[in-house]
């Protein structure tokens, strides 16, 4: 392997920012002292407090059920700037969460070993250096900042446009849920640790996840996310298509491997006559009879619900022994130690919601700027 040298210093860094008008920059490492985010571009006078942000962080945090990693983190958020008297000031909003249960020494045995299907090798090859303590910036712990920023975006969209974003686990391994998109609620999702609103499927998912843990293995699956009340006009018709930005956002999540909107890949088996969404009168603007488009046509929201599905691979960290190599290319075997999720899906739901919220907030603010002109 060709590795970077000191002569390559300052040639490139790790980008950690997202968005145009509603912008966030996350910071921190999995086993560093803290993790956090700075949100720039949030309008002033938005009513928000730490409790609004904590609700979503509690859904993301580890140790919340027997199905997820048992790392014990309260993930208590502290707002450092950008809020005064319960309202945003319009200045950068900084939030931080301390890493209370960090155990960097537990990863010393990985210092000179590349974990299969992790970012260890590729990060090292690109930068010539890596943080082996749980993956550093490559760890899903980085998503704490995204969820905190997403909670701010949620308040902005609810107050400004009455937009609701809701996600749930729709598949684990080969187990599919049956969910009515028109009636599903947050209460339905949160009633079970799997975050699957189909009780029969949820029970099967729980059994499968627990069996995978016992076998030293892991499972993947799908999260479905729905946005209701999205106005017509969000997104642009060329490079900044709404579905393109949503795809980028979702595929930036750890372990995300696939993205569909509307009919997705299934739509390829339909004819144009079957797939097209006919219009009918709907008061002040037409509405579609069906929603194969998933709420987006020509890169622009059409007023229908936005429906996306995101595929997550099985967790790369497993207890079963695997073949790998050391950093100097010698063959070895590795059996992961410590705490990990046998299935990322239950904790991925608030991550997917956060990325949907961030994209919609950014495009909503961009559309407001167009409307003012």
pLDDT band, residue 29 (cuts 50/70/90): confident
pLDDT tens digits along 134-147: 777 888 889 999 99
Map out the domains of the chain as residue ranges: 13-372
Three-state DSSP state, 353: helix
pLDDT band, residue 7 (cuts 50/70/90): low
Q: What is the largest CA-CA distance in the chain?
A: 69
Between 344 and 106, name the one with better pLDDT.
Answer: 344
- Given a cut of 60, is residue 5 above it in pLDDT? no
Region 14-22: what's the mean pLDDT? 91
Region 114-131: what's the mean pLDDT? 85
CA dist 290 and 295 (Å) reads 10
Check if the beta carbon of residue 193 is closer than 8 Å to that of residue 66: yes
Region 213-231: what's the mean pLDDT? 96
- Average pLDDT taken over every residue of the chain: 90
Domain 13-372: which CATH class?
Answer: alpha beta
* Residues sharing a CB contact under 8 Å with residue 322, sequence separation 6 or more, in sequence order: 116, 333, 334, 335
| Dihedral over Cα of 369, 370, 371, 373: its sign | positive
Strand pairing of 23-28 and 331-334? Answer: unpaired
* Per-residue confidence (pLDDT) for residue 12, from 0 to 100: 61
Region 188-198: what's the mean pLDDT? 97
- Given a cut of 60, is residue 4 above it in pLDDT? no
Region 301-319: what's the mean pLDDT? 95
41 class by beta-carbon count within 10 Å (0-12 exposed, 13-18 middle, 19+ buried)? middle
pLDDT band, residue 362 (cuts 50/70/90): very high
* Per-residue confidence (pLDDT) for residue 106, from 0 to 100: 65
pLDDT tens digits along 76-119: 999 999 999 999 999 999 999 998 866 666 667 778 888 888 88
- Given a cut of 90, is residue 3 above it in pLDDT? no
Region 2-21: what's the mean pLDDT? 69
Left (φ > 0), alpha (ψ -120 to 50) or beta: where does 354 sit? alpha
* Per-residue confidence (pLDDT) for residue 295, from 0 to 100: 98
With 0.85 as the threshold, say if the pTM is over it: yes
Q: What percent of the chain has pLDDT above 90?
A: 71
Region 241-270: what's the mean pLDDT? 97
Of 16-20, 44-48, 132-136, the range with the lowest mean pLDDT is: 132-136
């Amino acid at each position: 392997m060709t590795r970077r040298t000191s002569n390559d210093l300052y040639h490139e860094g790790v980008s950690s920012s997202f968005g145009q008008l509603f912008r966030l920059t996350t910071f921190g490492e999995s086993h560093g002292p803290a993790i956090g985010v700075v949100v720039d571009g949030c309008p002033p006078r938005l009513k928000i407090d730490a409790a609004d942000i904590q609700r979503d962080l509690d859904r993301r945090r580890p140790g919340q059920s027997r199905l997820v990693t048992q790392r014990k983190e309260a993930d208590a958020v502290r707002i450092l700037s950008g809020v005064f008297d319960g309202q945003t000031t319009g200045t950068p909003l900084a939030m931080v969460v301390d890493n209370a249960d960090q155990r960097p020494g537990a990863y010393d045995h990985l210092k000179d070993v590349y974990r299969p299907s992790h970012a260890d090798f590729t990060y090292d090859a690109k930068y010539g250096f890596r943080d082996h303590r749980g993956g550093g910036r490559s760890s899903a712990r980085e998503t704490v900042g995204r969820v905190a920023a997403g909670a701010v975006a949620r308040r902005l969209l609810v107050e400004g446009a009455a937009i609701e974003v809701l996600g749930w686990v729709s598949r684990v391994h080969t187990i599919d849920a049956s969910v009515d998109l028109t009636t599903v609620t947050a209460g339905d999702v949160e009633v079970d640790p799997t975050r699957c609103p189909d009780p029969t499927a949820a029970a099967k998912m729980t059994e499968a996840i627990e069996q995978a843990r016992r076998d030293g293995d892991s499972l993947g699956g799908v999260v479905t996310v729905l946005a209701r009340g999205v106005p017509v006009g969000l997104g642009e018709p060329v490079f900044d298509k709404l579905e393109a930005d949503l795809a980028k956002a979702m595929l930036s999540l750890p372990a995300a491997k696939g993205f569909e909107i509307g009919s997705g890949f299934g739509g390829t088996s339909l004819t144009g006559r079957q797939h097209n969404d006919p219009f009918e009168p709907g008061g002040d603007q037409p509405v579609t009879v069906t929603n194969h488009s998933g709420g987006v046509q020509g890169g622009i929201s059409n007023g229908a619900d936005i429906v996306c599905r995101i595929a997550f691979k099985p967790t790369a960290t497993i207890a079963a022994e695997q073949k790998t190599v050391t950093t100097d290319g010698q063959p070895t075997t590795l059996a992961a130690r410590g705490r990990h999720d046998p299935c990322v899906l239950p904790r991925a739901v608030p991550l997917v919601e956060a990325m949907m919220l961030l994209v919609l907030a950014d495009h909503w603010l961009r559309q407001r700027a167009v409307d003012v002109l």
